[in-house]
Amino acid sequence: MAPSFTARIQLFLLRALGFLIGLVGRAALVLGGPKFASKTPRPVTEPLLLLSGMQLAKLIRQRKVKCIDVVQAYINRIKDVNPMINGIVKYRFEEAMKEAHAVDQKLAEKQEDEATLENKWPFLGVPLTVKEAFQLQGMPNSSGLMNRRDAIAKTDATVVALLKGAGAIPLGITNCSELCMWYESSNKIYGRSNNPYDLQHIVGGSSGGEGCTLAAACSVIGVGSDIGGSIRMPAFFNGIFGHKPSPGVVPNKGQFPLAVGAQELFLCTGPMCRYAEDLAPMLKVMAGPGIKRLKLDTKVHLKDLKFYWMEHDGGSFLMSKVDQDLIMTQKKEPVKFVDLLGDHGKHVSPLWELIKWCLGLSVYTIPSIGVFSALGLPVTQCPLGLNAKGLPLGIQVVAGPFNDHLTLAVAQYLEKTFGGWVCPGKF
């Protein structure tokens, strides 16, 4: 049946409104964005900044690299780049250098062998940044809210304490959206964070300061939180890895605002990093006793996995279309991926499955077509390189509850296949 005249008029008005909103957005981008001499920060030249957290920890344990040199390299990078991206909103450089010196002194005493050091402190001497919404002792903890601008954390959030206990050295806290509620990372206290792949673009929210800080090589591992995409979207926007764990595995204690009611079921604290090999070790530390609920040490055979993927969400006239570069990137690998996974590869059309569901013919529940957070599924956001404009591409890898080891294994495969994080400024 053809739509009625009224319905056609409503559709036309909605399309016109969407067009006008798009024009306003483009004008704001041109006239109101930050002004810098370059679109991106300078590429990394210090080799220490191009190593994963696991690699750095190993070199420090083996006494092949001094911890103080690693921390100083990151401080130099932050001083050079952070004025452009505004990712880190409060430094703790003096404390970090003291902690790095203490690590070097401890190693100089040679009281413990490398295996013992790895077991006790898997992230010994590794630089860390923390989303401002989490308590880091002595640092602001406002979540971008003006009436909390003087709030100073008197203790560490549980995950921060666990990472520090594993040897990580915090360099500072990173920007977030006001009360961690928005799609970008901008507030009246700290201002706006900028995307290192194009400083006129936003970084996503609410863990966007963490995302851009990691992407710009101002940190190597970081802490974020996610209730509706607050780890995954900044990881996507900034071309890094981010993992939303299965709910209830990683403790949320020590962040503001506190999750209440139904939010407690969905809020997840998780790792963000540049290198996929850091995800599982970070999760093991951050989860504490909760790690027993996962199977991170289980060997994953990708051939035995059944997987489904979707190229796009079906589209809407009120939303931007999925970037064609992203669709083409997904098509680069499926043949190899299907070969790797055996005979299980099968494309899924969300729209077709929705129609079948309405008729009672689909083998899927309606939430499985898209609502990952509501179902409490673990999700790993993975970078897939850059598009024609030099902006990050990415994909979410989703598994069943408490099967985080599957998404993390696929993340490492995708990193090897697509190259993982790309250093800004090299495009």
Active site residues: 131, 206, 230
- Class of residue 19 by CB neighbours under 10 A (exposed 0-12, middle 13-18, buried 19+): exposed
Tell me the C-alpha distance between 178 and 147, whole Å.
11
Tell me the C-alpha distance between 242 and 275, whole Å.
10
Question: What is the Cα gyration radius of the chain?
Answer: 22
The token pair at 263 is: 């939010």
Start-end of H helices in 191-249: 208-215, 232-238
Please name the amino acid found at residue 426.
Answer: K
Tell me the C-alpha distance between 69 and 62, whole Å.
14
Q: How many helices (H) and strands (E) would you count in the chain? A: 15, 12
Cβ-based neighbours of 143, under 8 Å, separated by 6 or more: 132, 133, 176, 178, 179, 180, 256, 257
